Amino acid sequence: MQTRLSQQQLYSLNPGLVKHLTGLSALPEDTNITAKLADLVRLRVSQINGCGFCQHMHSAELRSQGERQQRLDVLAAWREVPVFSEQETAALAWAEALTNIIDKHVEDDVYNQVSAIFNEKDIVVLTTVVLEINSWNRIVKAFHFTPELTE
């Protein structure tokens, strides 16, 4: 697959893009959404959307934050393996519900799960993380960005 537009071209055509999209998911100091949790959500959303570029990037970021490869290996099956915390599973359920929203609403049970763990501010922050990565996934897939993989 050939890149349609390079990252550099995209950023020069719309200089505010990076600033505005990354600004959406800036984590306030007074939130329970950690950088590691936000990246776990970004990775899961990127898996759902089939965005290899973002999967590669967020997997690397998580490993650099000390995340174990074994957990990354089973992230797509997080409901089936008991290696994710209650906070992580609530965030992942919320992220999946928001990402798979075509023709439906977020179900009450998912909202109840996330609101039992996180306060309203945290839910808004988590929602903006999901919004941000879904936007990046669509940009990357539209212009065919590919990850730089090393052997």
> Does the pLDDT value for residue 151 go beyond 80?
no
Across the range 102-110, mean pLDDT stands at: 92
pLDDT band at 4 (very low <50, low <70, confident <90, very high): confident
Radius of gyration, CA atoms only, the chain: 16
Provide DSSP, 86-125.
Answer: HHHHHHHHHHHHHHT-TTS---HHHHHHHHHHS-HHHHHH
Domain ranges of the chain: 32-143
Rounded CA separation 30/94 (Å): 20
Determine the average pLDDT of the residues in 82-97.
Answer: 98
Mean pLDDT of 106-127: 97
Domain 32-143 has CATH 1.20.1290.10: yes
pTM over 0.85: yes
pLDDT surpassing 90 at residue 83 = yes
Q: Residue 35: what pLDDT?
A: 94
